[in-house]
Amino acid sequence: MAGSSSPQDSSELKMAVSCYRHPEREGVYYCQKDGDYMCEQCACCRSPRIYCQYRTACVIQVLTQEGELEDCTQRKDDEPTAVDQR
Ligand SMILES: [Zn+2]
């Protein structure tokens, strides 16, 4: 029961975060307001009408305005626009 020093369990050092909607995709964008990582497809300000103190430095917001990212507020997504009534 001694001498087993082969480091075989060190393969789980996976620091990459995944998209909040696509666990298999890498979350390359981070929404500081919502605290979610997003893939390139999902990268979008989900609630642009709500004040965000990070917006002026939000890369998602900048890239959306520059046309680099798709503006999700102008497309019909597959998920219904749920009204939070809580
Ligand atoms: Zn995604």
CA distance linking residue 77 with residue 11, whole number of Å:
37
C-alpha 5 – ligand 1 centre gap (Å) = 39
Using the predicted structure, report yes or no on whether residue 80 has a pLDDT greater than 60. Answer: no
Task: Report the C-alpha dihedral over residues 24, 67, 31, 40, rounded to 10 degrees.
Answer: 10
Residue 30 within a domain: yes
Look at the pTM and tell me if it is higher than 0.85.
no
Total structural domains within the chain: 1
* Ligand 1 midpoint to CA 18 (Å): 8
CB atoms within 10 A of CB 83: 6
| pLDDT computed for residue 46 by the predictor | 87
Q: Is 76 inside any structural domain? A: no
| Distance from the alpha carbon of residue 46 to the mean position of ligand 1, in angstroms | 13
Which residues, 6+ apart, have CB-to-CB distance to 54 below 8 Å? 32, 33
- Residue 64 Cα to ligand 1 midpoint, Å, equals 16
DSSP letters of 4-68?
Answer: -----SGGG-----B-SS-TTSB--EEETTTTEEE-TTT-S-S-TTS--TTGGG-HHHHHHHTTS
How many A from CA of 26 to the centre of ligand 1? 8
Q: Which residue segment(s) compose the domain that 57 sits in?
A: 15-70
- Give the C-alpha separation, 86 to 80, whole Å: 17
In tens, the pLDDT along 21-59 reads: 999 999 999 999 999 999 999 999 988 899 999 999 999
Task: Please give the distance, rounded to the nearest whole angstrom, from the Cα atom of residue 27 to the centre of ligand 1.
Answer: 7
pLDDT digits (tens, 9 = 90+) for 7-28: 555 555 566 899 999 999 999 9
